[in-house]
A and B are shown apart, each in its own frame.
Chain A
Amino acid sequence: MAEQTIDRRVIADCQQGDRDAFRLLFEAYKDKVFSLAVYSFGGDKSAADDVTQQIFLKLFSAIGQFRGESEFTTWLYRLVVNACTDERRRRKRLLPLGETLVMSDVSGRKPQEKQFARLEISEAVQAAIGELKPKFRLPILLKYIEGLSYEEIATVLNCSKGTVASRLNRGHSQLAKRLSYLKNQTALGD
């Protein structure tokens, strides 16, 4: 469903508790929210499932607080980023080994060429994204999955545009280094 169908009227209807409007909102953003969640949890789709549900539940109960002072998407992504961060912290507290196990499954093997050797490019990129620190991963996800501008990313992450630019540089650089062995693959070649 196109994102353009979400206008002020739909949001106003959501604030009035209109179920159809909620469904419209859900359909417009579910893939984006789910993608962000999957990449935030290192590819764990089950965890992403749970957190996506929580995000939409929270969205539906908190949408009354949206005053239209900022863009709705910015407000939504702030909610998503906060929910993912909280959930990661919660899981770290409750299952201190859980996340480490997921990450070590990917990063424990050396060299990196072997790590992703059998994966397709997009899978390799997903795995490499999962290895980035959250502060470098989130700007990349907001840029490439959500298509936000630097200013919007800065608002969502509550930092300056310069910080966004700097973190994207670091993220891109780390991706290039981790995946340099794929440089000559035809899909990426000049």
Chain B
Amino acid sequence: MFFHHVTKDFSAYVHGELSSEESRRFAEHIISCQRCRSKFEEIKLGIKFAEQLPRLTAPDHLWEEIENLRARQSVPVTQIVAPRRFISNWKPQLAGIAAVLLMAIGVGILWSYRTRPSTPVGPSWRVARLGGTPKIGSAGISNGGQLGVGQWLETDSTSKAEISVASIGQVQIDPNTRVRLVETQPTEHRLELARGKMSARIWAPPRLFFVDTPSAVAADLGCAYTLEVDDSGASLLRVTFGWVALELKDRESMVPSGAACQTRPGIGPGTPYFEDVSAAFRDALAQFDFGSDPATRKAALDQLLEEPAEARNTLTLWHLLSRVDGNERVRVYEKLASLWPPPKGVSREGILNLDQEMLERWKDNLAAGWAQRPLAPASLLDPLSRVKRFVRQMKHKIAD
């Protein structure tokens, strides 16, 4: 897959001009190819600009001038003067029958509108009923319906539904959930999850599908995940495949497969953690992320740094680097470096100064240990494993 870059298909993919098989291949490639992903971001930006191109209005005098020119050029025009038939020509009894028929049709349409969800004008997503009677707006759907931009889909305690997200994936809506289609365009598809739980499976390139929640935005990076929002607006993201970015203003959490992350209104995304970390680690992280008392937060950080050496804790530690200051950042760095030393080109000083390039490089290096299966700490890897890992990395580099 690495040898067949998809550069020629960028625009065609966004415009829905590829077959489903071609789209799938495109998405698979772009998730794993940094070069194509970066170029694709540029093309998407160009598309967003092109979409701003307004259609202009022709001046009013144009028709008159064309008529004058036609008259001068003596273009033969046969004006059709055949009289049109209007109601005034109808016999009175015929008009009466027509009026009754029109009234009957009107009543029928009204009845139909009251019992069926209205078909939205403009782009919409197909909704399939999985159980009970989910509602689009105030109307229940029996088999299926269309969710238009701005419309709410709501399930009660007995209903479930599945949304087809344009041609890029599916979202299952669990009971007691309320979602709204905010936007659907070739360059961006966006849902709002006000409360409840949804499970998404997206096979699109990164950053095409977004979910707004009261406390963060979930940006799909090619993945499968569940997102749950409670009545307070707090949410819990659990990623089962690929990556999801949780964002609020300048705060961002990158959540890989097997990891979870909580969010809180007014604070945004907390620090991500792998779901198999200890309960004590998880509790301490919640205290650190969302606690309001500085002393409690400091104690929570101490506890996080005292946890046994686990390579998978590096996900949390890497995120903590930019969320603590001064001596606390030094302690987090030391702990992280003891679990997984920074790669070549990443210095202690650079990390302590939050050099973005170095942070990203270390994160990319760490991500090898964030795979689904538990990994031993780097320091414990046997020489053969190290060689195997090195060969694997080189293969990827050469192929990419």
Which B residues from 54 to 98 make CB contacts under 8 A with A? 54-59, 62-63, 65-66, 69-70, 73, 75-80
| B-chain residues with CB within 8 Å of residue A121 when the two chains form the complex | 49, 52
| B-chain residues with CB within 8 Å of residue A34 when the two chains form the complex | 56-59, 62
Stretch of B40-48, B146-154, B287-295 lying at the A interface: B40-48
Interface flag for A159 (CB, 8 Å): no
| B-chain residues with CB within 8 Å of residue A150 when the two chains form the complex | 12, 15, 17
Which B residues from 195 to 223 make CB contacts under 8 A with A? 207, 210, 219
What CA separation (Å) do A22 and B62 show in the bound complex? 13
What CA separation (Å) do A39 and B53 show in the bound complex? 10
State whether A57 touches B79 (Cβ < 8 A): no
A–B pairs, 18, beta carbons within 8 Å:
A13-B80, A16-B78, A17-B77, A18-B78, A19-B79, A31-B58, A33-B58, A34-B56, A60-B75, A61-B75, A121-B52, A150-B12, A165-B9, A172-B45, A172-B50, A174-B46, A176-B45, A190-B188
Bits for A153-168, please: 1 = Cβ < 8 Å to B, else 0. Answer: 0000000011001101
CB-contact partner of B49 in A30, A35, A125, A168, under 8 A: A125
Interface flag for B51 (CB, 8 Å): yes
| B-chain residues with CB within 8 Å of residue A19 when the two chains form the complex | 77, 79-80
| B-chain residues with CB within 8 Å of residue A126 when the two chains form the complex | 53-54
**Knowing A125-B53, A169-B8 touch, does A53 contact B66 (C-beta < 8 A)?**
yes
**Knowing A150-B17, A190-B219 touch, does A173 contact B52 (C-beta < 8 A)?**
no
Interface centre among B50, B51, B55, B210 (most CB of A within 10 A): B50
Distance from A129 Cβ to chain B, minimum over Cβ atoms (Å): 6
| B-chain residues with CB within 8 Å of residue A190 when the two chains form the complex | 188, 207, 210, 219
State whether B80 touches A20 (Cβ < 8 A): yes
Number of A residues contacting the other chain (C-beta, 8 Å)? 59
State whether A122 touches B66 (Cβ < 8 A): no
Distance from B353 Cβ to chain A, minimum over Cβ atoms (Å): 24
Bits for B344-385, please: 1 = Cβ < 8 Å to A, else 0. Answer: 000000000000000000000000000000000000000000
State whether A32 touches B55 (Cβ < 8 A): yes
State whether B73 touches A57 (Cβ < 8 A): yes
What CA separation (Å) do A171 and B79 show in the bound complex? 45
**Knowing A31-B56, A34-B58 touch, does A57 contact B70 (C-beta < 8 A)?**
yes
List 11 other contacts, CB 8 Å, given A17-B78, A169-B10, A169-B11. A16-B78, A17-B77, A30-B62, A52-B62, A125-B49, A168-B12, A172-B10, A172-B11, A172-B42, A173-B46, A190-B219
State whether A176 touches B42 (Cβ < 8 A): yes
CB-contact partner of B62 in A49, A173, A180, under 8 A: A49
State whether A169 touches B7 (Cβ < 8 A): yes
Distance from A186 Cβ to chain B, minimum over Cβ atoms (Å): 12
Which A residues from 26 to 75 make CB contacts under 8 A with B? 26, 30-35, 38-39, 45, 49, 52-53, 56-57, 60-61
Q: Is the interface of A mostly helix, strand, loop or mixed?
A: helix
CB-contact partner of A165 in B8, B65, B70, B219, under 8 A: B8
What CA separation (Å) do A101 and B42 show in the bound complex? 30
| B-chain residues with CB within 8 Å of residue A32 when the two chains form the complex | 55
Interface residues of B (CB under 8 A from A): 7-12, 15, 17, 39, 42-43, 45-59, 62-63, 65-66, 69-70, 73, 75-80, 188, 207, 210, 219
Stretch of A80-88, A90-98, A137-145 lying at the B interface: A137-145
Q: 4 closest pairs, A vs B, by CB?
A: A172-B46, A34-B58, A176-B46, A17-B78
What CA separation (Å) do A17 and B47 show in the bound complex? 41
Interface flag for A2 (CB, 8 Å): no
CB-contact partner of A31 in B43, B47, B55, B70, under 8 A: B55
State whether B56 touches A35 (Cβ < 8 A): yes
| B-chain residues with CB within 8 Å of residue A39 when the two chains form the complex | 53
What CA separation (Å) do A11 and B79 show in the bound complex? 14
| B-chain residues with CB within 8 Å of residue A188 when the two chains form the complex | 45, 48-49, 52
| B-chain residues with CB within 8 Å of residue A57 when the two chains form the complex | 66, 69-70, 73, 75
**Knowing A57-B70, A176-B45 touch, does A165 contact B80 (C-beta < 8 A)?**
no
CB-contact partner of B55 in A23, A129, A145, A162, under 8 A: A145
What CA separation (Å) do A26 and B63 show in the bound complex? 8
Interface flag for A6 (CB, 8 Å): no
Distance from B17 Cβ to chain A, minimum over Cβ atoms (Å): 5
**Knowing A121-B52, A166-B8 touch, does A53 contact B47 (C-beta < 8 A)?**
no
What CA separation (Å) do A22 and B57 show in the bound complex? 19
